[in-house]
């Protein structure tokens, strides 16, 4: 599966996971929306959750600072899908829900879509990469076993209830 990143370049280049993926030829960066290919766009504002039912030949993530990550930033061509509840393992946002880096978002999507080996390969470039899979092992396993988006949302709801108890 091809990994693409619409790259804004407004984060610290030394901490940018998308740039590191590109350096290792694990993802392709695109500087404009027009240049970004069609695919499944990982979009926290999407109305539908990513599920194994999604037909993905390409994943597209937006790499920008959290301050500029509003709905208009995600105006890319493709099937927009939201990732379900997961927690970050990166050093900046460790343990925070939904505060994933670009590589964490791509890896989560790959696991949900049945591409665990590909997810492990991209996370291997980061010292904390394996921790992301360990922290989210149960929810990722459950999401990956769902039939469709509505099941993913139901599993997420169950998981959130369990976590709050």
Domain that holds residue 137: 2-164
Q: How far apart are CA 106 and CA 2, in angstroms?
A: 11
Digit-by-digit pLDDT tens for the chain (165 residues) are: 999 999 887 677 788 899 999 999 999 999 888 899 999 999 988 999 999 999 889 999 998 765 555 554 567 889 999 999 999 999 999 999 989 999 999 999 999 999 999 999 999 999 999 999 999 999 999 999 999 999 999 999 988 887 666
Q: How far apart are CA 53 and CA 137, in angstroms?
A: 20
* CB neighbourhood size of 143 (10 A): 27
User: Based on the structure, what is the number of domains in the chain?
Assistant: 1
Going by DSSP bridges, is the β-strand pair 28-30/78-81 parallel, antiparallel, or unpaired?
unpaired
DSSP state letters, 71-121? GGGG--SEEEEB--S-B--STTTTT-BT---HHHHHHHHHHHTT-HHHHHH
């Amino acid at each position: 599966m091809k990994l693409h990143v619409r790259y804004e370049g407004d984060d610290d280049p030394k901490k940018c996971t998308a740039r590191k993926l590109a350096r290792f030829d694990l993802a392709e960066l695109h500087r404009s929306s027009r240049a970004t290919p069609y695919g499944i766009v990982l979009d926290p504002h999407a109305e539908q959750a990513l599920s194994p039912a999604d037909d993905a030949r390409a994943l597209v993530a937006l790499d920008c600072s959290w301050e500029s990550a509003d709905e208009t930033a995600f105006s890319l061509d493709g099937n927009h899908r939201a990732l379900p509840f997961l927690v970050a393992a990166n050093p900046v946002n460790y343990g925070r829900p939904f505060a994933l880096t670009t590589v964490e978002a791509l890896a989560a999507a790959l696991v949900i879509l049945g591409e665990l080996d590909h997810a492990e390969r991209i996370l291997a470039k980061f010292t904390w990469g394996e921790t992301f899979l360990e922290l989210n092992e149960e929810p990722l396993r459950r999401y990956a076993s769902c039939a469709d988006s509505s099941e993913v949302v139901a599993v997420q709801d169950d998981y959130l209830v369990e976590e709050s108890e």
